[in-house]
Chain A
Amino acid sequence: MTMIFGVPAAAFFGQLLLGLINGAFYALLSLGLAVIFGLLKIINFAHGAQYMLGAFAAWLMLNMLGINYWAALFLAPLIVGIIGVLIERFLLRRIAHVDHIYGLLLTFGLALIIQGVFTNWFGVSGSRYPVPEALRGGVNLGFMFLPYYRAWVVVIALLVCFGVWFMIEKTKLGGYLRAGTENPALMQAFGINVPLLVTLTYGFGVALAAFAGVLAAPIYSVAPGMGANLLIVVFAVVVIGGMGSIMGAIITGLAMGIIEGLTKVYYPEASNTVIFLVMILVLLLRPSGLFGKEA
């Protein structure tokens, strides 16, 4: 058997693939943060809670209304996105004129509320969401057993990531968005409804988080705390990549998933801290982040 750093090559590639799957979640979440940050200049601390909301929305729809996974994949982000629109319109807009730190604090408060309410309703331990019928089972790739659902996750997450990138970088709507990021006042002068653009952008970023939540529901248990710890890791990913570029957020997310995956083989004890260590290294060597523009 071929060995790579003392691990059979087959196992190595298996872990690489699993890392990529987890990285897809980091990429989706950090992408959402980057989109929101671009226009609103705030860090959405409620991102983890909104990811959890997406998973719970899917779970509730299945158990209360009998709505299946495929419909939930579309409906849950829509519903949570609308909640996001309301949050922006009625809360965040009122503090848009003050220091952006307050946006962070407000969303932190929202995260506490959302998470607290769900903990009281559903308890901490979480519930199961079944893997959709069509994606049960898996395929033996020779070097590993790949469940179909995981394959689906990585494919759809990458499609969405690159779709968002394409939309922002290559379409007219994306052009507005980028222009709004650069100079909102000028945009307004050109007759573009910037406040509406801001509202929709926040709603879209939130919807991305909820989408990731639905994708995660069948793999991880649906629990009120599922987003909180994940978010801190995603913050580290964002610090590493910098929020200046959409592609940067995606690539960093995937890369960190892979690094974390490999750590689970070589030194599992450190697997939950390795991303933070990478962050420290990046801060020492390249303080503005791998793709960052600001100092």
Chain B
Amino acid sequence: MSTTQTVKPSVALEARQAADRRRWMLYGVMLAVALVAPFVAYPVFLMKILCFALFACAFNLLLGYAGLLSFGHAAFLATGGYYTGYMLSQHSLTPELGILVGTAAATVLGVLFGVLSIRRQGIYFAMITLALAQMVFFFYLQADFTGGEDGMHGIPRGHLFGLIDMTNNLNMYYFVLAVFLFGFLLIQRTIHSPFGQVLKAIRENEPRAISLGYNTDAYKLVAFVLSAALAGLAGSTKTVVFQLASLTDAHWHMSGEVVLMTLVGGVGTLFGPLIGAAFVIGIEHQLAQSALGDWVNVVLGVIFVVCVLTFRAGIVGEIQKFMKKNFR
């Protein structure tokens, strides 16, 4: 991945500082856009994008930085959603506590999945996570508290900290934005930390990482659990926004969708999942309103195939490649 730098240290430092400045400017612009967005676009739609973007970011942490393709992330999204929904509707918890419970439940499930699945690699890892998630799906189908096929409806949004009325879409939006930023920055910090560097080393060459004395299984497990927790956080938040939790979130189809979001946006890029989520949600939204409504899955499948064949780096990845080639 990294190329050997032959430039003088001072020049390199300057270039890096310039790049840092540009990056922070970019962050600033994006934040400003996010703050103004609900006045321009429909807030619920934006919240949907943010929730799925967080979900995709969490997934990308695992695929992009640890090289592990999970095909069972729907289980965490659904677990977060169901437990939060249950807490809000049956125990009248405030939304932030409900979300905490949901996220905690997803984290516990993440530990269980992680311990089992990191025993195998590559393709087997994908199959194991898929099979485990299918089990979770059957569990939620049969369990009483989830409402089975019907799901949970009319979950109250409640008052944040018992004070702020979440039925107001603007309040809700800024809360979701805050949750997303929290998740996003946590992932950003993780990737750039020594921990993240070890993860990348494992992705590139696991035997070498082992020979350097790293307990690679432990690193992978921590990454898996963190990813599961954030996916659960996304699911919990989504449940509060839409006031429902359903089996759709637990289905393997959802696991496939998050793979697609990440792939389209750019695997292993920080902003890829965000762009990918917006792209996929946007397309689904457009299709649902058009005559092609029944063909959503076919269209998603075509995007999958085209993406794998022609731009594997994803939207953000391809832009980065282009910039590197032309603007150095």
Contact = CB atoms under 8 A, between A and B. Distances in A.
A109 B124 CA distance: 19
Interface in B274-328: 294-298, 300-305, 307-309, 312
A105 to B, nearest CB: 5
Given A43-B123, A112-B256, A284-B116, A105 B297 contact: no
A128 to B, nearest CB: 24
Interface residues of B, number: 39
A160 interface: no
A239 B300 contact: no
B131 interface: yes
A108 interface: yes
B116 A91 contact: no
A276 B116 contact: no
Interface in A28-43: 37, 41-43
B77 interface: no
A280 interface: yes
A117 B298 contact: yes
Interface stretch (B101-109, B132-140, B155-163): B132-140
A111 B260 CA distance: 14
Contacts of A37: 123
Interface string A256-295: 0000000000000100110011011001100110000001
A109 B131 contact: no
Contacts of A91: 305, 309
Given A117-B298, A276-B134, A104 B126 contact: yes
Interface in B105-162: 116-117, 119-124, 126-128, 130-132, 134-135, 138-139, 142
Contacts of A196: none
A94 interface: yes
Contacts of A287: 119-120
A295 B69 CA distance: 17
B252 interface: yes
A106 B304 contact: yes
A91 B298 CA distance: 17
B225 interface: no
B263 interface: yes
A97 B310 CA distance: 14
A120 B119 CA distance: 40
A202 to B, nearest CB: 16
B128 A279 contact: yes
A236 B126 CA distance: 11
Contact of A113 (B132, B134, B256, B302): B302
Contacts, number: 112
Contact of A279 (B131, B259, B297): B131
Contact of A235 (B130, B297, B300): B130
A101 interface: yes
A71 interface: no
A232 interface: yes
B312 A113 contact: no
Interface in A226-242: 228-229, 232-233, 235-236, 238-239
A239 B294 contact: no
Nearest to B256: A108
B51 to A, nearest CB: 22
A33 to B, nearest CB: 10
Interface string A55-97: 0000000000000000000000000000000000001001100
Contacts of B305: 91, 106, 109-110, 113
Nearest to A240: B131
A98 B312 contact: yes
B138 A100 contact: no
B122 A100 contact: yes
Nearest to B112: A280
Contacts of A117: 298
A119 to B, nearest CB: 7
A95 B116 CA distance: 30
A109 B135 contact: no
Given A101-B123, A119-B297, A283-B119, A109 B302 contact: yes
9 contacts: A43-B126, A102-B308, A105-B304, A106-B304, A106-B305, A116-B297, A120-B298, A232-B131, A283-B119
Given A43-B123, A100-B123, A113-B297, 6 more contacts: A43-B126, A102-B308, A104-B126, A108-B256, A108-B304, A112-B298
